[in-house]
Amino acid sequence: MNTQPRIYVAGHNGLVGSAIVRVLRAQGHTNIVTRSHAELELTDQAQVREFFRNERIDQVYLAAAKVGGIHANNTYPADFIYDNMMVQANVVHEAWRNGVNKLLFLGSSCIYPRLAQQPIREEYLMSGMLEPTNEPYAMAKIAGIKLCESYNRQYGTDYRSVMPTNLYGPGDNYHPENSHVIPALMRRFHEAKLTGAPEVVIWGSGKPMREFLYVDDMAEASVYVMNLDHDTYASTTDPMHSHINVGTGEDVTIADLARLVGETVGYRGRIAFDPSKPDGTPRKLLDVSKLKSLGWQARTPLPEGLQRAYAAFVDLMADQEKRAAA
Query: Binding site, residues?
Result: 11-17, 106-109, 141, 164-167, 180, 188, 203, 210, 279
CA distances from residue 236 to 49, 83, 226, 303 in whole angstroms, order as listed: 33, 31, 14, 32
CA atoms of 112 and 107, how far apart (whole Å): 11
List, as residue ranges, the binding site for NADP(+).
11-17, 106-109, 141, 164-167, 180
Beta bridge partners of 32: 7
Tell me the C-alpha to C-alpha distance, in Å, between residue 246 and each of 119, 168, 321.
12, 13, 36
CB-CB contact of 124 with 112 (8 Å): yes
Catalytic annotation present for 8: no
Q: Are 173 and 72 in contact (CB under 8 A)?
A: no
Strands of 117-198, DSSP E: 158-164, 166-168
Rounded Cα distance, 167 and 188, in Å: 18
**Cβ neighbours of residue 221 closer than 8 Å, sequence gap 6 or more:** 162, 164, 246, 291, 296, 298
- Residues contributing to the annotated binding site for substrate: 188, 203, 210, 279
238: amino acid identity, one letter: D
Question: Which regions of 26-157 does DSSP assign to beta strands (E)?
Answer: 32-33, 59-62, 102-106
Q: Which of 137, 151, 159, 174 is catalytic?
A: 137
Give the C-alpha separation, 279 to 283, whole Å: 10
Q: Could you give the residue numbers annotated as active site?
A: 137
